[in-house]
Amino acid sequence: SFGGKEFLYGLPELNKTAISSARYIANPGCFATCIQLALLPLANAQMLNSDVHVNAVTGSTGAGIMPSATTHFSWRNNNASWYKAFTHQHLGEINESLESLQETVGELYFIPNRGNFSRGILSTAYTKFEGSESEAYGLYHEFYKNAAFTMISEEPVHLKQVVNTNNCHIHLHKYKDVLLITSVIDNLLKGASGQAIQNMNLMLGFNESEGLNLKASVY
């Protein structure tokens, strides 16, 4: 709650039904959206029992509008660096969502990186997984079967596939006993304003994808 108003966490893939009848929505953060979408199906299946390691890179537009030493183009161009290792502010909302599905989850170790591009987030998360790659795909397809913008790909995903769209693309890869989950979003759309419009559509009874059938520039 804030200012005497009760806010609902506005991640449609997690709270779609509740969003439709909510009065106030808290729009998720960009890293939080990308990472949660990668991990929610495992938590829902009570299979997020080991530590999770996440490495994610965001474009310069993820730094907000206030100028700083690390946001100027001349510094970002041809450059890369990490920041807020293990302590990023989005960890709180990520863990809260995961724990709403699985009471106890493994520790989340998150390294955010600044990328040499303007928009988009690519996240790679890996954790121990006892099942097969095929079983993992089954979990993800089932969890997102009614999701308007989250798509599961059996081919490797690329950032350009989602930039300028409200989509999230997810790819799975099993190596020995480890499952690698790659997720990509546009930080300004699915990670910000696009998701806000998606929430508004649900709240007002519009088609969930109204105004959001955007096409990536790569196609």
For residue 40, give every residue at least 6 positions away whose Cβ sits within 8 Å of its Cβ, in sequence order, or none: 13, 14, 97, 98, 101, 143
Letter for the amino acid at 187?
A: N
With respect to residue 104, please indicate whether it lies within any of the assigned structural domains.
yes
Identify the pLDDT of residue 69.
76
Identify the pLDDT of residue 90.
94
With respect to residue 119, please indicate whether it lies within any of the assigned structural domains.
yes
With respect to residue 14, please indicate whether it lies within any of the assigned structural domains.
no
Q: What's the whole-number average pLDDT of the chain?
A: 94
Max Cα distance, the chain (Å) = 50
With respect to residue 69, please indicate whether it lies within any of the assigned structural domains.
yes
> Residue 52 is part of a domain; what is its CATH number?
3.30.360.10
Residue 217 scores a pLDDT above 90: no
With respect to residue 144, please indicate whether it lies within any of the assigned structural domains.
yes
User: 162 and 185 in contact (C-beta within 8 Å)?
Assistant: yes
The mean pLDDT of 169-198, rounded to a whole number, is 98
Identify the pLDDT of residue 165.
98
- Could you tell me which residues are beta bridge partners of residue 55? 111, 124
With respect to residue 49, please indicate whether it lies within any of the assigned structural domains.
yes
Cα dist. 72→111, 115, 117 in Å?
21, 13, 12
With respect to residue 195, please indicate whether it lies within any of the assigned structural domains.
no
Question: DSSP strand E in 88-189: where?
Answer: 108-114, 121-128, 150-153, 168-175, 178-185
Phi, psi of 121 (to 5 degrees): -135, 130
Q: How many domains does the chain have?
A: 1
Q: Which of 14, 19, 22, 30 is catalytic?
A: 30
Phi, psi of 20 (to 5 degrees): -60, -25
Identify the pLDDT of residue 107.
97
pLDDT in tens, 62-88: 876 677 777 777 777 899 999 999 999
Domain ranges, residue 103: 30-188
Identify the pLDDT of residue 188.
96
pLDDT in tens, 106-160: 999 999 999 999 999 999 999 999 999 999 999 999 999 999 999 999 999 999 9
CA distance 1 to 29: 17
User: 3 and 148 in contact (C-beta within 8 Å)?
Assistant: no
Identify the pLDDT of residue 40.
98
Which pLDDT band, with edges at 50, 70 and 90, does 1 fall under?
A: low
Q: Let me know if 30 is a catalytic residue.
A: yes
| Residue whose C-alpha is closest to residue 53's, from 127, 3, 119 | 127
pLDDT in tens, 15-27: 999 999 999 999 9
The mean pLDDT of 97-104, rounded to a whole number, is 97
Return the structure tokens found at 197: 């419009």
